[in-house]
């Protein structure tokens, strides 16, 4: 059965100033590419809603949530996020968090589900950073725990940047294990301590990268036996990415995603996927790289 759930909402896209380096159009373009290439069909798409504010406050300070949602965040904190405030961006941010929550619930029901956004792992309880406002990964897991749907989880963060916000949020929480494999010399300048950090050298290519991943992931799943894996499939590991410093090819990213999903499937552990970071001037090439996650999901489930 290859018809896995895909989560998307039109609110994933909201206008940004001309020339802004965050590739906002990619979310709708990714959804359109997946349908056009028949990776998915319309019947697989689920539409999320925005979560109640209490769910955001399971992770974030109420004062920060209120200030951001009302547009009263101080200028310095807004600059740290890197995205100009607007009502549309608030709606987009909250809907994307709702999308990751829905993705996680669908993964529990069907074994695998993919969001077409998400992966805002630089958001801390009291502030946002690096294009990340609310930490969707952390919020989704806290909601599932609150609702008694899971007890334990493993975050597999393969974005090129360390998942510093998630590492900080779960630093004293043994129920969520954070695994971040990232470029060691890259944003954020000040790293947090994940449960397992694997910093990689600049220009690590496909073969070395996959060897490292395969040396860690199966053993983690065997040891932890989590109720859910949350997978951040950032494509900023690509050799052409503007903000990454690794050197993976399209083939390497596809094999990375296939490896993660197949390893989880073999272990019988549900996996919820978010697309993470990806930046580049060639939008068609960028959305294709993001689509590799969903192509790998279809291939794994077709076996």
Q: Which residues pair with 177 in a beta bridge?
A: 154
Phi, psi of 40 (to 5 degrees): -135, 170
CA distance linking residue 297 with residue 40, whole number of Å: 10
CA distance linking residue 251 with residue 260, whole number of Å: 14
Name the residues annotated as catalytic. 122
Cβ neighbours for 188, distance < 8 A, ≥ 6 positions apart: 122, 129, 130, 161, 162, 164
DSSP assignment string, 81-147: HTS---HHHHHHHHHHHHHHHHHHHHHHHHSEEEESS---TT--SS--BTTBSS-HHHHHHHHHHHT
Burial 156-176 (b: 16+ CB within 10 A, else e): bbbbbbbbbbbbbbbeeeeeb
How many beta carbons lie within 10 A of that of residue 84, not counting itself?
13
CA distance linking residue 6 with residue 52, whole number of Å: 22
Exposure of 253 by Cβ count < 10 A (0-12 exposed, 13-18 middle, 19+ buried)? buried
Q: Which two tokens stand for residue 220?
A: 């983690």
Q: Which two tokens stand for residue 32?
A: 């359109």
Q: Is 75 helix (H, G, I), strand (E, B) or coil?
A: helix
């Amino acid at each position: 059965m290859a018809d896995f759930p895909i989560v998307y909402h039109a609110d994933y896209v909201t206008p940004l100033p001309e020339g802004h380096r965050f590739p906002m159009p990619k979310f709708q373009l990714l959804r359109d590419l997946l349908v056009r290439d028949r990776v998915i069909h319309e019947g697989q798409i689920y539409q999320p809603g925005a979560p109640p504010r209490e769910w955001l406050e399971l992770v974030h300070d109420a004062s920060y949530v209120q200030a951001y949602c009302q547009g009263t965040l101080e200028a310095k904190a807004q600059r740290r996020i890197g995205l100009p405030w607007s009502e549309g961006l608030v709606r987009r941010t909250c809907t994307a968090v709702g999308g990751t929550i829905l993705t996680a619930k669908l993964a529990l029901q069907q074994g695998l589900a993919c969001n077409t956004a998400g992966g805002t792992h630089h958001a801390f309880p009291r502030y946002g950073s690096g294009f990340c406002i609310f930490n969707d990964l952390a919020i989704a897991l806290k909601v599932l725990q609150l609702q008694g749907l899971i007890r334990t989880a493993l975050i597999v963060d393969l974005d090129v940047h360390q998942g510093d916000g998630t590492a900080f949020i779960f630093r004293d929480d043994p129920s969520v294990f954070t695994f971040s494999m990232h470029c060691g010399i890259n944003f954020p300048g000040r790293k947090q301590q994940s449960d397992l950090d694997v910093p990689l050298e600049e220009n690590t290519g496909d073969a070395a990268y996959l060897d490292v991943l395969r040396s860690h992931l199966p053993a983690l799943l065997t040891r932890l036996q989590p109720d859910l894996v949350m997978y951040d499939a950032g494509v900023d590991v690509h050799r052409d990415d503007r903000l990454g410093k690794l050197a993976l090819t399209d083939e390497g990213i596809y094999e990375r995603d296939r490896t993660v999903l197949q390893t989880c499937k073999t272990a019988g552990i549900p996996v919820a996927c978010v697309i993470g970071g990806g930046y580049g001037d060639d939008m068609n090439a960028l959305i294709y790289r993001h689509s590799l996650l969903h192509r790998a999901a279809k291939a794994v489930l077709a076996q």
